[in-house]
Amino acid sequence: MTPKGEDADELVYRGADKVYVVESDIFDFPNEISFKENIVHMVKECKPEILLMEATNFGRSLAARAAAALETGLTPNCTGLKIEEDEFVQIRPAFTGNILAHISNDRYPKMSTVRYKEFEESDRDETMEGEIISKEPIRTVNKGPKILEEISEDKVNIQEADIVMAGERVLQESNDLEMLEKVCAEIGGKLGASRPLVDEGWIDMEYQVGYSGNRVKPRLYIACGILGAPQHLMGMKESEKIIVINSDFSAPIFEHADYGIVGFIYEVIPELIEKLREIKKL
């Protein structure tokens, strides 16, 4: 299901042998009703064994509706998928990430939502060939949610950031987050936070990194005063480079660090800001 103008060839270049395209302006707006009706119709016609969707806010809502309509199961927030002895196995964290549950069922299609950026992007090859099949969209009578008011709001998406700098409850007050924001401004990064700061109401949940927040894979992740609880590590441990700043040299997060600074953040961060500004002047 795509808005008009989307390039279906791109999926072929990424390895798809067959691409079904339902193109319409009804998909310009993320309306779960329209998407669900068209997905259900397509599944009943094409009878796939496996149906995957992204584990975004919209994807989770859409997948649940589609699974209910298809009377099948749904495994959410998967971090791994594999075929084992001809059985499709869905892998997801359980008990706040302390174990990985391996799930399979006998209902078809076997449905999963997959966490954002969980798998490496497929190689692109424009010499690859595949079949593109166009289908007519189904226009539902139900128009879906009614928009009462549009409110302009700056959205923060730390999942797309190349650099993330995150703090934890070691900060003494909410205004101290400005110290981390100053570093972010100098290096072009985005501010992140652990769950305790969100629970305290110091920062919105869209900034949260971890099992119950955002999963990030930036080129550089800077952890300030973060001890390394499993819930937080689940959200950032696959970053390309990890720098840890912590006064506790025994903090578990140091085991995942590429570079570590043992020191009090109220001493290290101001000095870091000063050094960055000196470098910019050169």
Residues 44 and 108 in one domain: yes
Residues 122 and 231 in one domain: no
- The whole-number pLDDT of residue 224 equals 96
What confidence tens digit (pLDDT) does each residue in 191-244 have?
999 999 999 999 998 999 988 788 899 999 999 999 999 889 988 998 999 999
Residues 173 and 260 in one domain: yes
Residues 202 and 244 in one domain: yes
pLDDT of residue 163 exceeding 80, the answer is yes
Confirm whether 144 is domain-assigned.
Answer: no
Write out the residue range of the structural domain in which residue 70 sits: 9-135
Confirm whether 106 is domain-assigned.
Answer: yes
- The whole-number pLDDT of residue 155 equals 66
Residues 16 and 131 in one domain: yes
The CATH number of residue 85's host domain is 3.40.50.620
Confirm whether 170 is domain-assigned.
Answer: yes
Q: What is the mean pLDDT of residues 247-274?
A: 94
- The whole-number pLDDT of residue 22 equals 92
Q: Which residue has the higher pLDDT, 145 or 49?
A: 49
What confidence tens digit (pLDDT) does each residue in 3-56 have?
665 688 999 999 999 999 998 888 888 888 899 999 999 999 999 999 999 998
- The pLDDT > 90 percentage for the chain reads 64
- The whole-number pLDDT of residue 121 equals 85
Residues 251 and 244: beta-carbon distance below 8 Å: yes
Q: Name the pLDDT band for 153 (thresholds 50, 70, 90).
A: low
Residues 209 and 260 in one domain: yes
Domain count, the chain: 2
Residues 168 and 78 in one domain: no
The CATH number of residue 166's host domain is 3.40.50.1220
Confirm whether 3 is domain-assigned.
Answer: no
Residues 169 and 65 in one domain: no
- The whole-number pLDDT of residue 149 equals 76
Whether the model pTM is above 0.95: no
Residues 177 and 72 in one domain: no
Q: What is the mean pLDDT of residues 61-80?
A: 94
